[in-house]
Chains A and B, each alone.
Chain A
Amino acid sequence: MRTALAITSVELKRFLADRSNIFFVFVFPLLLVLFIGAQFGGGGGGRVALSGPDSSLTADLAAQLADDDAQVTTVTADDARELVARGRADVSVVVTDEAAAAYDAGDDVAVPLVVGNGAQSQATAQRVQSALDALALERGQLAALTDAGLSAESARQALAAADTALRPARMEITNVSEIAQEFAGLGQFDYGAASQVLLFVFLISLAGSTTLIQSRRLGVTRRTLAAPVTTRQAVAGQALGRLAIATTQGVYIMAASTLLFGVDWGNLALAFLVVVVFGLVAAGAAMVLGSVIDNDAAAGGVGVGVGLVAGALGGAMYPIELFPDSLRTVAHLTPHAWAGQALAEVQRHGAGLVEILPELGVLLGYAAVLLLVGAWVLRRSLARAI
């Protein structure tokens, strides 16, 4: 074991000593977390550009949205559309004079929405819709009460009292799509951090498989085998080395995004477990890649390519929840999709170990297959190194 660990530690040391890794391993992932967070906009409620006449509808809608944690910017109609076009707002709402009048009269209200194409836009549009629904409901209730003979003032007071009493129930946003529910309560950087952990753990592991090839080419593999080292120890040391690299990358992004961006991982230990199991998958894949290819530049290219494609397909670049159904099925061929799902369960829904066992099981299956194949091809590659 000591011998295997000596190999593990030297692999990790080489990984950390490689200056060209510093940007891609330590800086780039955080930039991407920041970038994705910026797309998601500030706050969980989305960004709404609101324009409209000075009316009770405009005011009530702004208040209702602000209540729901949305960032509301009040601007002219043209500016509202412009903000959405530039991605500075998720949705623009233009309150027309007719809508304002209809609202005051207690009639049906139609308000045009312009929805952007950011990751958060659909969810924000749903929020605006439910805010409007809530306002319409309140109007209707008010009208019903005054019709029943209450004065307008008493009716409002009665509703306000009922509202306070009912508040906990209203916290559960009704009539909102799955997507909005999925991302409800998620911090600005939470999705970005979770997705980049997976993207980079896999990508960096695969790209790092070049060190296996270099060791063979440099003759250090040969020299290692000339020492009293069994093939089993050499393979175990390399497997653990790959896992150490994957875990280092994962822990770094988790720690840095927590400290810098306040990312909430839900149950941290469980999120870490998911990342480590995913790291096993990445380690196995890296062993396979570094053993079957003998040209390190080619392996690096393939590693980055496979890492990016698998990441994109597995929802590590764009939320899988926004994929069309057919693509979502394909996405689940990647380990990223399963790990992403497990992290989402932990991060967004407070899932415990039992709830994510299915995802962990699938990941362990991937890891077992890749590590076995990896050990076998690595063993064979050692013979080529002599």
Chain B
Amino acid sequence: MSSDSSGTTAAPAHQGDVLVVTDVVRRFGDLVAVDGVSFRIAPGETYGLLGPNGAGKTTTISMVAGLLPADAGTITLLGRAVGPRHTDVKRHVGLVPQDLAIYPELSARENLVFFGRLQGMWGRALTARVDEVLEIVGLADRAKDATKEYSGGMKRRLNIGIGLLHQPTLLILDEPTVGVDPQSRNAILESVEALSHEGMAVLYTTHYMEEAERLCDRIAIIDSGRVQAEGTRDELIRLTGELDRIRLTGGGDVPEAAAAVRALDAVASADADRHSVLLAVRDAPTAVAGVVTAATAAGMTLDDVEITRPNLESVFLQLTGKALRD
């Protein structure tokens, strides 16, 4: 699914896509940081860019946000060209940068008011929206304190609040949970889910595969500036050809149970030892009921049923030959 020099990836246009990125390239000197990336995001969709450090996630985002010009390829947002010279279309994008881009000397409210003004918001409408966002990110009671006195998680939440302020069509979050405690992290993930349910399109980069799995409708696995694979979580995992595993543990007639489940269509293999049967199956959640029925009918008494499925980590490993985190 990565594009090569022939540039054949342009997918058929879907009416109503919020963002369409086509064969985008960006070089820094000799380094090709982004090397022919294409993807599109539908309204209300959360799209993930999952890749290790230096993969080209932030560079891609800089181009999508109209900060960096692309050396080749096109980007359109709501059908309009995106780039540093296209100021007006930026109104529809909310960028939450990887680095905390807030003024430390100013309070949360002052930061929000400033960035709101840059979005062309003024007066009472701005004040009302600032209050609303302070509630959303849970900083209403600390709104007047200088942000340099905030905890890391609070700063992260304000960082996100600024991106939401002007109710953009596309919200871009560049690794928004880096350096955040588990509780704040969960709050951040929940608010992204809520925004997505409200219909906001989200472009989410991360190198945590759990986050990509939980949040993203579709995911692009990106490495060395190229999209290595793209699809829903399940599609990506299917790509590896790796099967789900079901382990049955218990007593009774274990060898007979193994033979019985092996005969099922969904089961590719079943190996028994004294107290358990390990099965390789397609789509374990669907197959498990039939497996349990067959095993008990064959005389096995079950103490435990355990399902394990391959995750994006294994997909990544297989695609790139390296681990997602170094």
Chain A positions near chain B (C-beta within 8 angstroms): 2-3, 6-7, 10, 13-14, 17-18, 218-220, 222-230, 386
* Chain B residues proximal to chain A, CB less than 8 Å: 62, 65-68, 84, 87-88, 90-91, 93, 95, 97, 99-106, 110, 114-115, 117-120, 122, 146, 162
Residues of A within 8 A of B93 (CB): 226
Instruction: Collect the chain B residues with CB atoms within 8 Å of residue A17's CB.
Output: 105-106, 146
Q: How far is the CA of A7 from the CA of B275 in the complex (A)?
A: 71
Complex Cα gap A386–B83 (Å): 13
Contact A220 B122, beta carbon cutoff 8 Å: no
**Contact status A226-B95, CB under 8 Å:** yes
With A220-B101, A226-B95, A229-B90 already in contact, 8 other A-B pairs whose C-beta atoms are closer than 8 Å: A6-B114, A17-B146, A218-B101, A226-B66, A226-B67, A226-B90, A386-B62, A386-B68
Q: CB distance B115 to A228 under 8 Å?
A: no
Q: Which residues of A contact B68 (CB under 8 A)?
A: 386
Give Cα A118 to B82, complex, Å: 66
B99 with A218: CB separation less than 8 A: yes
Give the Cβ gap from B70 to chain A, nearest Cβ, in Å. Answer: 13
Query: Would you mind naming 18 contact pairs between A and B with Cβ atoms under 8 Å apart?
Result: A2-B120, A2-B122, A3-B118, A6-B114, A10-B106, A14-B103, A17-B105, A218-B99, A218-B102, A219-B97, A219-B99, A223-B162, A226-B93, A229-B90, A229-B118, A230-B87, A386-B67, A386-B68
**Docked complex Cα distance between A370 and B118 (Å):** 27
- Report which of B103, B110, B118 forms a contact with A227, defined as CB distance below 8 A: B118
A295 to B62, CA, bound (A): 23
Q: Is the CB of B117 within 8 A of A3?
A: yes
User: In the bound complex, how far is the Cα of B150 from the Cα of A61, in angstroms?
Assistant: 71
Note all chain B residues with C-beta closer than 8 A to A223.
95, 97, 101, 115, 162
Find out whether the CB atom of A219 lies under 8 angstroms from the CB atom of B100: yes
Chain B residues near A226 (CB, 8 Å)?
Answer: 65-67, 90, 93, 95, 97
Which residue of the partner chain A has the closest CB to B92? A228
The answer to whether A228 touches B95, judged by C-beta atoms less than 8 angstroms apart, is no
A6 to B162, CA, bound (A): 15
Smallest Cβ distance from A1 to chain B, in angstroms? Answer: 12
Task: List the A side residues contacting B99 at CB < 8 Å.
Answer: 218-219
For A225, what are the chain B residues with a Cβ–Cβ distance below 8 Å? 67, 84
Is B106 a contact of A229 with CB atoms below 8 Å? no
A230 to B83, CA, bound (A): 12
Bound form: Cα–Cα A7–B91 in Å? 17
Query: Chain B residues with Cβ under 8 A from A13's Cβ?
Result: 105-106, 110
Are A227 and B115 neighbours in the complex by a CB distance under 8 Å?
A: yes
Closest chain B residue to A17 by CB distance? B105
The residue from B103, B105, B118 contacting A228, defined by CB atoms under 8 A apart: B118
Tell me which residues across on chain B come within 8 A of A14, comparing CB atoms: 103, 105-106
- In whole angstroms, what is the CA distance A132 to B46 when docked? 94
A14 to B114 CA separation, bound complex (whole angstroms): 12
- Closest chain B residue to A215, Cβ basis: B103
Quick one: closest B residue to A231, CB to CB? B84
Complex: how many Å from CA A3 to CA B91? 13
Determine the distance from Cα of A386 to Cα of B69 in the docked complex, in whole angstroms: 11
In the bound complex, residues from chain B placing their C-beta under 8 Å from that of A7 are 118
Q: Measured between alpha carbons, how far is A386 from B87 in the docked complex, in Å?
A: 15
User: Which residues does chain A contribute within 8 Å of B95, judged by CB atoms?
Assistant: 223, 226
Once bound together, how far apart are the Cα atoms of A230 and B87, in whole Å? Answer: 6
Task: Tell me if B101 and A6 are in contact (CB < 8 A).
Answer: no
Do the beta carbons of A220 and B102 come within 8 Å of each other? yes
Shortest CB-to-CB span from A125 to chain B, Å, is: 51
- Quick check: B117 and A228 within 8 Å, CB to CB? no
CB-based nearest B residue for A237: B118
Residues of B close to A218: CB separation below 8 A: 99-104
